[in-house]
A and B are shown apart, each in its own frame.
Chain A
């Protein structure tokens, strides 16, 4: 890996970082991605929520964007470029989760789209709900009950006894998905499904999101061709195979586009006045990266963007953190979790405060570093648990931040030229 003197560095390797990278690539800038071992995108459920701009709060990042609709549109296109299995629906769909709950979501893979109440209602043929032997984290009963409540007829419980393994096996999402990656196991699975279909006349089977990791699309079409049924995957719990799929697609996208990915951590930085000139990593061979701009896309708690000692702090640059207008100095810690588990917890809305350029600012609205930008869940004001939108918000903030960086680099270039003249 070689560095030039003006690198753009993206700190983080999730969906927000993807938004930044793909926008930059579109304009001919190839950044460096600093990737942690495990980010929050690995825990992804499978539903990209756009969220509602009108009803979102005052501090929602959409409110900082110049033209949010245009940015969202662009983001959705970029996401579809990366993952061809994604389908966009005009209205949010009510999709089943592995727990048998229902979640509204806008963009999802074609197989998950089939697991929405809307598309099940359209079905004229019978729909099956899988009961998987030994697979504990799939709540078929609840799905069946909800379908009955919605007066959907022609739903059959389908028992699948394919998993005759050791009975005390701890069968989780990844066990099943990795099993279906193996050819022999997958063929056995197909034979088993054929037997079931010969007994029940189903055309769609509601299934947990475990139909393979990398070969999921291939598996899906083989099942459709050979068995004649469409598998409808629900949204996923942790450990999420859907998240792994997305993360792998991002990785191969980066590989194909020649983006340099450095697995490691930023442990420090050098600055000149209010400008970061280089980042220090924990890799001995690439210990210092000279930069022209950096984007903080480290996420919140699971991603590792926010850490705690006696109070919350931003883990890379120690940027000021905010909850609404309140700067989180000592003493705010205990108010960040309310007494009721079912409340919307303030802790999940805290983050760095940004200006319309997506640069982190302090309480006096002054920019912390001139060439530092933020994207994704590290930005304050939106909580995916709250219905403020999740992955699309993260990716679109990345896109918006990237376009601001492009402006900055262009401006600097022009200025430089004019100085020389």
Chain B
């Protein structure tokens, strides 16, 4: 079991927020020997990190405005590819141009020139150079693409599961003796004579309060920064922007396709694991980052953009919409889309909070570099002179490669299941296999949509801080498939109950919370017969036969 008891009293660094930035800094700092503790009020990657597209792309779009962001992203993407090689997948992009584009043929030439400029960065992240495709070639690669095109240009990117990337950073930090606590909210900052001394925190699951002391505090709460800052008495200025994605229940192609929305923005339809993701929107957002409403207009905006290039996109079963809030740097007199994707570190010394810093902005692909930069700053304050080695050290699971075919025979587990497990857990898959060896019944699938085994679910509860069904979902993808938790949520509740010795009421409550969370994302896309049929089956299973009722 994960030990959540606080063992040391004064820390060098207190990190607030367990998104990719917080997790990355925790890893970097703990590797340098800085005594670190991290608090996450919900679960790791439950905010903007988890709602991202899942690409460690270089940011072609920023080539025009933030050339250095593209460079940094590409460079860091290359590093991430090396340290997390087991969970990487290549996503070749096709960007076709429709015949009815106002600029026509010349725009295709412009696109190609632009992509040639990006080619220079490709070698940093193992990407192939662009090629120009004729309409026939495009349709051959992706038969769903409209025949009404002038041609297409390709680019090469890599994808990664943002949940797993964050968890691996957390695990690495823990293995380097950092303290990690999820479901623990920071209530207030303790300070003395204008210097921060520590934080008061509240563990939501155990319903316990602690005071933790530390020399420096890093606020990496992302979209929650302005709220947290206001509550504590300092200020973080940013321009939060909401991004919505749609999910289709299967891979409609192995190629991602770029298209233009009605207002001329780029929208991508890309394969991600077993699903296809359509995204994203970009709109100013001033509401609660924890409860982001998704409107019918946003769903239609994305569907229209996708329909533009894949005409029968609406015939697919769209299972979900998800949203996140980007903590983008403040900018005025510009559209959301034109905001800088760079990052900033604020020092709150002048506001009476010495040794308190806030990190905002950034991208998934550049998370490691941002972490390095931030940790350098912290290290200089706490007097640590160790070098950063995060780009040279493998993430947990990537340290060793294993012989999958041999293990498949040895543990009598089908190859497709083991390949999937290796892709998600790397060499740590051995722990899951040992569990299966002791209890062969745990080889059975829990999820019907993807082969998520019982052993895998028990592993993430025991070793990866999963405390709710939603936490399990983030780490294993159980409940993210076609039926959206219809079949597996009761089983996951049962396993969670066994592992954490919950009562029956607590189990029912966990299941109810999870189903409500799934439903909030399904509801926006209940626009086709297939999705309503699925919803009816789920409701019949849970409410009619399962005897579940709302916890209110």
Contacts and interface: CB of A to CB of B under 8 A. Distances in A.
A302 B533 contact: yes
A97 B546 CA distance: 7
A136 interface: yes
Contacts of A141: 494
In this complex, which of A100, A168, A334 has the most chain B Cβ atoms within 10 angstroms of its Cβ?
A: A168
B256 to A, nearest CB: 27
Contact of A139 (B494, B533, B540): B494
Contacts of A145: 504
B516 A342 contact: yes
B528 interface: yes
Contacts of A133: 441
Contact of A337 (B526, B548, B549): B526
A341 B515 contact: yes
Contacts of A134: 441, 444
Nearest to B442: A167
A101 interface: yes
A168 B413 contact: yes
Given A139-B494, A334-B296, A339-B520, A103 B544 contact: yes
Given A136-B491, A339-B523, A347-B532, A167 B545 contact: no
Contacts of A97: 545-547
B548 A171 contact: no
A163 B523 CA distance: 39
B490 A99 contact: yes
A345 B539 contact: yes
Interface in B377-402: none
B130 interface: no
Size class of the contact patch on chain A = 35 or more
A142 B548 CA distance: 12
Interface in A77-136: 97-103, 133-134, 136
Contact of A101 (B412, B529, B547): B547
Interface string B519-552: 1100100111100110111011101111111100
Interface in B90-131: none
A392 interface: no
A385 interface: yes
The winner among A98, A103, A302 for most chain B CB atoms within 10 A is A302
A385 B539 contact: yes
Contacts of A235: 545
B446 A98 contact: no
A45 interface: yes
B363 interface: no
Given A136-B491, A347-B532, A170 B445 contact: yes
Contact of B536 (A45, A169, A302): A302
Nearest to A234: B545
A308 B491 contact: no
A142 B504 contact: yes
A301 B494 contact: no
A333 interface: yes
A238 interface: yes
Q: B490, B491, B520, B550 — which one has the most chain A CB atoms within 10 A of its CB?
A: B490
A171 B491 CA distance: 14
A189 interface: no
A169 B547 contact: no
Given A136-B446, A171-B444, A348-B536, A308 B547 contact: no
A341 B540 contact: no
Interface string B178-218: 00000000000000000000000000000000000000000
B414 interface: yes
A341 B296 CA distance: 18
A168 B446 CA distance: 11
A340 B516 contact: yes
Interface in A272-313: 300-302, 304, 306-308
Interface residues of B, number: 44
Nearest to B527: A308
A237 interface: yes
B251 interface: no
Interface in A335-379: 337, 339-343, 345, 347-348
Contacts of A302: 533, 536-537
B443 interface: yes
A365 B296 CA distance: 33
Interface in A372-391: 384-385
Interface string B404-416: 0000000011100
A341 B528 CA distance: 18
Contacts of A102: 547
A43 interface: yes
A385 B549 CA distance: 12
A238 B533 contact: no
A101 B296 CA distance: 35
B512 interface: yes
B81 to A, nearest CB: 32
Contact of A342 (B413, B537, B543): B543
Nearest to B453: A168
B536 A99 contact: no
A301 B545 CA distance: 19
Given A97-B546, A308-B529, A337 B441 contact: no
Contacts of B444: 134, 136, 167-171
Nearest to A347: B532
Contacts of B290: none
Contacts of A341: 512, 515-516, 518-519, 539, 550
Given A101-B546, A339-B523, A139 B490 contact: yes
A235 B540 CA distance: 12
B378 to A, nearest CB: 42
Nearest to A169: B444
Given A139-B490, A167-B440, A334-B296, A342 B540 contact: no
B417 interface: yes
Nearest to A45: B545
Contacts of B414: 168
A102 B547 CA distance: 6
A304 B533 CA distance: 9
Interface in A139-161: 139, 141-142, 145
A300 B174 CA distance: 52
A340 B547 contact: no
A301 B538 CA distance: 13
B549 A308 contact: no
A6 B412 CA distance: 63
A45 B537 CA distance: 11
A347 B526 CA distance: 11
A409 to B, nearest CB: 34
Nearest to A97: B545
B473 to A, nearest CB: 16
Interface in B134-176: none
Interface of A: 43, 45, 97-103, 133-134, 136-137, 139, 141-142, 145, 167-171, 235, 237-238, 300-302, 304, 306-308, 333-334, 337, 339-343, 345, 347-348, 384-385
Query: Considering the complex of A and B, which 7 residue pairs feature the smallest CB-CB distances, nearest first?
Result: A101-B547, A342-B550, A341-B519, A99-B546, A97-B545, A168-B443, A167-B440
Given A301-B532, A302-B537, A337-B526, 19 more contacts: A97-B545, A99-B545, A137-B491, A167-B412, A168-B444, A301-B529, A302-B533, A334-B296, A337-B523, A339-B520, A341-B512, A341-B515, A341-B539, A341-B550, A342-B549, A347-B532, A348-B536, A385-B539, A385-B543
17 contacts: A45-B540, A99-B541, A99-B546, A103-B545, A137-B491, A141-B494, A167-B440, A170-B444, A237-B541, A238-B537, A238-B541, A333-B296, A342-B512, A347-B526, A347-B532, A348-B536, A385-B543
